[in-house]
């Protein structure tokens, strides 16, 4: 596989909703990475003529509410290893949480394209609320709504450009 794009972030920010919106074809559901077997959802997609494989991290089997911080950290580290690009999803409704900061700290050291997606920006009124995510120190961000699709085109434009 080439052009692997991993979607990372803490539970309930909307990773799976984004994955489902972007994916056109699903691959194997269970994969074994570094000896750790876990549910990892793979899908295929393309944009502007660039094909890529998407990975939805975060363990559907675990249930999204009681994932341990350690588990999230592990998933992010695996994603950093195997992905060519990373979409880091955060939630504008909740703002920056300590776990977001931790993930950002891991990602800031990575020499791969990182796309910060501020999700749940369902309407223009929430655009202003997204500004605080500059404080994660990852630079520019993309405001998106995985539910209604707004902003996802701009995110994919930027992503495809780096593939």
Catalog residues that contact Mg ion under the rule CB under 5 A: 15-16, 58
Judged by CB, which is closer to ligand GDP: 66, or 111?
A: 66
Please indicate if the annotation marks 119 as binding a ligand: yes
Residues in binding contact with ligand GDP, number by CB under 6 A: 16
146 binds ligand GDP (CB under 6 A): yes
Residue pair 35/122 in contact by the 8 Å Cβ criterion: no
Question: Positive or negative, the Cα torsion across 33, 28, 118, 9?
Answer: negative
CB of 10 to Mg ion, least distance (A): 10
Q: How many CA atoms lie within 13 A of 7 on its CB side?
A: 33
CA dihedral 25, 30, 34, 37 (to 10 degrees): 160
CB of 38 to Mg ion, least distance (A): 13
Residue pair 134/104 in contact by the 8 Å Cβ criterion: no
Judged by the rule CB under 6 A, the positions of this chain that interact with ligand GDP are 9, 11-17, 58, 64, 119-120, 122, 145-147
Residues of the binding site for GTP? 9-16, 56-60, 119-122
């Amino acid at each position: 596989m080439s052009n692997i794009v991993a979607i990372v972030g803490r539970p309930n920010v909307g990773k799976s909703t984004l994955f489902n919106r972007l994916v056109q074809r699903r691959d194997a559901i269970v994969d074994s990475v570094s000896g750790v077997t876990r549910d990892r959802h793979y899908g295929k997609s393309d944009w502007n003529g660039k094909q890529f494989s998407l990975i939805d991290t975060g363990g559907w089997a675990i249930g999204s509410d009681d994932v341990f911080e350690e588990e999230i950290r592990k998933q992010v580290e695996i994603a950093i290893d195997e992905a060519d690009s990373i979409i880091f999803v955060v939630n504008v409704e909740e703002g920056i949480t300590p776990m977001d900061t931790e993930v950002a700290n891991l990602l800031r050291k990575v020499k791969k394209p990182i796309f910060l997606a501020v999700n749940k920006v369902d309407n223009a009124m929430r655009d202003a609320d997204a500004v605080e995510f500059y404080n994660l120190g990852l630079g520019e961000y993309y405001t998106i709504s995985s539910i209604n699709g707004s902003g996802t085109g701009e995110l994919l434009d930027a992503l495809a450009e780096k593939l």
